Amino acid sequence: MIKIILRRVLPPIFILVVFIGLAGLLMSTQEAPEQKADEVPVPIVDVTTVTQQTVSLNLPSYGVVTPKNKTQLVTEVQGRMLAISDSFVAGGVVKRGDKLAEIEPSDYEADLMQAQASLAQAKALLEEEVARGEVAKNDWQGYDGGMPPELGLRLPQLKKEQANVKFAEAAMARAQRNLERTIIRAPFDGIIKARNVDLGQYVSLGTNLGELYDTRVAEIRLPLANGELAYLESVDNPDTEVTLSAQLAGRTVSWTGKIIRSEGVIDAENRMVYLVAEIKDPYLRDNKQEGELPLKYGSFVTAVIKGRTVDGIVKLPRHIVRDGQVAVVTADNTLEMRNVNVVRTDIENVYIKDSLIDGERISLTNINNMATGQLVKVIGEDALPESSNEDADDTPTLVAVGDQ
């Protein structure tokens, strides 16, 4: 019985002891793993070289093209519309003095004839009174009682007839003007905005016949923030150029104009100041060259106002300036986070003055947590500077970093 028990128990114990011994032997001969230093990635950046230049601090704006002069064509006499010109339609182009419409003139022709007759009668009576005065003067020549009375010389009657002649002349002039006013003429070169009457329609005094826009000069009101006025050569007299552009006929068309005045007040609703630009001959009626397109009223245009010219300006892409700082890459390829003086910012660029020197390199690549002294690798350079390779075991790994 004891032999049977020993035969069953001893083999497993023996096997366990052998395995424990082998395990101890393996553990005693094990080598420690090689320790390596943590690799620090060095970001790769793209750079641009600083170049100072003289630039105009142009100001962007926008506006709608309107005529400098526009007028409502109204009647100064009444009557029935006898004729309407073919050019008196919406979009019709007319010149100064062109006949647009005519009111039935027969009544005014009759009034003129009556005024002419009244004037002739008044002149005849004046001549008759002058003759009577000469007779009266002769009759009083032998009077020795002093100066003869004015009534005796018929001087009051003469003045009355002279006044009647002037009254008749004024009436004839009024009748002549009324007859001329039966013809509606264009007061200046322009384009018809609208026509409100038709042939045969009866019109009274002050009836609005239509609206005429002057095509000689166009104006555009351009809003600017109050602070942007500092970039103009003169705030009180902003006499400067402006370039306007708009999409016409499927392409971008530009025109050159001039800022002629400032409206001089700040708009209470949007806190903007408005400059007024002027464009001569927007419809190209005086001088049109091949390929040119007119600047039509009602067009929405973008404007670039020529600003003050400044020397020593560095222009950089807007995205690389963060919190008023740029990353300067020094000669040993380390970063210097430098505060810069931004004098102007537009949609794409910033304009910096008195902060950067010609030849300095600015990082175009944005890296998270940029800090002064951070080591970088510049795209296009073969190796890091020698000062950063003194210990080969500590050479960091280069890792390309894109814009963040």
Q: What would the pLDDT profile of 48-90 be if each residue is shown by its tens digit?
A: 999 998 888 888 899 999 999 999 999 999 999 999 999 999 9
Identify the domain boundary among 285, 308, 331.
308
d(CA 120, CA 109): 17
CA distances from 386 to 143, 391, 392, 396 (A): 135, 10, 11, 13
96 pLDDT tier (thresholds 50, 70, 90): very high
Q: What was the pLDDT predicted at 213? A: 96
Residue 111 domain flag: yes
Q: Check pLDDT > 80 for residue 99.
A: yes
**CB distance 62 to 303 below 8 Å:** yes
Residue 390 domain flag: no
Q: What was the pLDDT predicted at 394? A: 47
d(CA 328, CA 360): 7
> What CATH number is given to the structural domain containing 277?
2.40.30
In terms of domains, do 228 and 263 share one?
yes
Q: Which domain holds residue 163?
A: 70-212
Residue 363 domain flag: yes
Q: What was the pLDDT predicted at 222? A: 94
In terms of domains, do 83 and 160 share one?
yes
Most confident of 86-100, 146-160, 265-279, 304-318: 86-100
In terms of domains, do 205 and 75 share one?
yes
In terms of domains, do 106 and 145 share one?
yes
Higher pLDDT, 151 or 308: 308
387 pLDDT tier (thresholds 50, 70, 90): very low
Q: What was the pLDDT predicted at 88? A: 95
**H-type helices in 56-142, by residue range?**
106-139
In terms of domains, do 242 and 120 share one?
no
Residue 18 domain flag: no
Residue 31 domain flag: no
Residue 320 domain flag: yes
> What CATH number is given to the structural domain containing 164?
2.40.50.100
Identify the domain boundary among 246, 278, 308.
308
Per-residue pLDDT, averaged over 244-265, amounts to 88
Residue 39 domain flag: no
Residue 65 domain flag: no
> What CATH number is given to the structural domain containing 356?
2.40.420
Identify the domain boundary among 286, 308, 330.
308
The 10s digit of each residue's pLDDT in 122-144 is 999 988 888 887 777 776 676 66
The model's pTM is 0.67
What is the DSSP code (8-state) at residue 334? B
Pairs from 82-87 (Cβ < 8 Å, separation ≥ 24): 83/199, 84/195, 84/197, 84/198, 84/199, 87/192
